[in-house]
Amino acid sequence: MSKTLYWAPRGIGILAILFISLFALDIFQAGVPISQMLLGLVIHLIPSFVLVLFLVIAWKYELVGGFLFVVISLVPFFLLSNQVWVNAMLCAPFLLTGILFLISSYHAHSS
């Protein structure tokens, strides 16, 4: 299995999680107590924590992780009321990560 196929889903997954995590930074506002902002930050980062857990699982079990990422990529279409293209943009990196984990798993087991 090539190193690129091994590292591509992991790298894309990390970058996608970091990107989603940036949206949690909108919690910081002037005049709000720091304890309230930190609580809000933790709450806003819950999806990122779940995604990190999925990435850890995928790192060890590529097939399971690939399916998790494909399934999680569909969540914006069911939970968010954005326009379809916005949800597609949000889910695309996670769908790509899932597909690459599945391909990597296939190549690892077929060799």
Q: How many domains does the chain have?
A: 1
Instruction: Tell me how far apart the alpha carbons of residues 33 and 69 are, in angstroms, rounded to a whole number.
Output: 36
Instruction: Tell me how far apart the alpha carbons of residues 100 and 42 are, in angstroms, rounded to a whole number.
Output: 29
Q: Tell me which of 12 and 79 has the higher pLDDT.
A: 12
Q: Which domain holds residue 101?
A: 3-110
Q: What is the pTM for the complete model shown?
A: 0.88
> What pLDDT, on a 0 to 100 scale, did the predictor assign at position 19?
94
For residue 53 the two structure tokens come to: 């857990």
pLDDT at 1 > cutoff 80: no
